[in-house]
Amino acid sequence: MLNFSSSEPLTSWTLNNQPEISAATEATTTEVANPAELAKQVNELAAGSHDLGIMHLILNEGDAILKLTFLILVLMSLYSWTVIIYRAIMIYVVSAKSKQHLKILNSSAYPSYEVAYQAMQGNSPIKELVGAALNSEQQYTQAQGALSQAIDYAEYLQRNIRYGLEKTTNSQDGGLSVLATIGATAPFIGLFGTVWGIYRALLSISATGNANIATIAGPIGEVLVATAFGLFVAIPAVLCYNVFIRRNRVYARSLDGFAHDLYNSFLMQSKK
């Protein structure tokens, strides 16, 4: 038979043992909270260890072949941007000088081509064509005997103006073939880096026997960076190449019209 009698009241026992219960509860809570906190710290460390920058991927994760691939892409990018900036500056300078020299030719303050040519400051395709026409007239006049018997003045003038026109238009296209080459080859060089990174990832998987994140994170990162960098190099080169080519074609047509008018003007002067 149960005996409910006790020398110590129940209320007294509960109050006396409350600190022990609280301590046990706190210990249990600590034991439950510690794994969660530990898991959080592990996740933070893991995230930090996989936060790989581009330079880290190239310098620490890549091999010699991948580093060479990125070096080629960097050099191509630097060269293409050098050509782009230089071409843009030259287009602006040539356009400004051409407008200035055309204004001098159309001005009544310069009665002849010789005076207008001497007044032109700097270089432009307009000045080069006028200089070619003036040299043709001077050379043909000085060599009246043999030269006049061998070739007609109109044909001689046309050849010299045409030669000056071709020389001018060719100088406007300088460096554009390099932009076209970079725009065509840079994506394939980046693709080579992609294929090589996948190959290295497969080698890592076969060597370790398991396809976990730690094994393939570096090579896969190299794959993505190589592809993106190849496109980064190619896209500006292709866009600027198309812009420059279109501008040069329009400018070449305007120069061709000016050369035709210049030829007719010198030919009419020779008949006076």
Task: Please report the DSSP string for 208-253 in residue order.
Answer: HSS--HHHHHHHHHHHHHHHHHHHHHHHHHHHHHHHHHHHHHHHHH
Q: What is the pLDDT of residue 246?
A: 94
Average pLDDT of the residues in 76-87: 95
pLDDT per residue as tens digits for the range 35-45: 555 444 445 43
The one-letter amino acid code at 195 reads V
CA distance 62 to 219: 8
- Tell me the percentage of the chain whose pLDDT exceeds 90: 40
Contact present, 258 and 101 (Cβ < 8 Å): no
Determine the average pLDDT of the residues in 230-253. Answer: 94
In the structure encoding, which two tokens stand for residue 262, read together? 């210049």
pLDDT band of residue 144 (cuts 50, 70, 90) is low
Domain boundaries, the chain: 7-49, 54-270
- pLDDT tens digits along 114-135: 999 999 998 899 999 999 999 9
Q: Identify the top-confidence range among 10-24, 155-169, 195-209, 234-248.
A: 234-248
pLDDT, average across residues 16-24: 45
CA–CA dist 11, 63 (Å, integer): 75
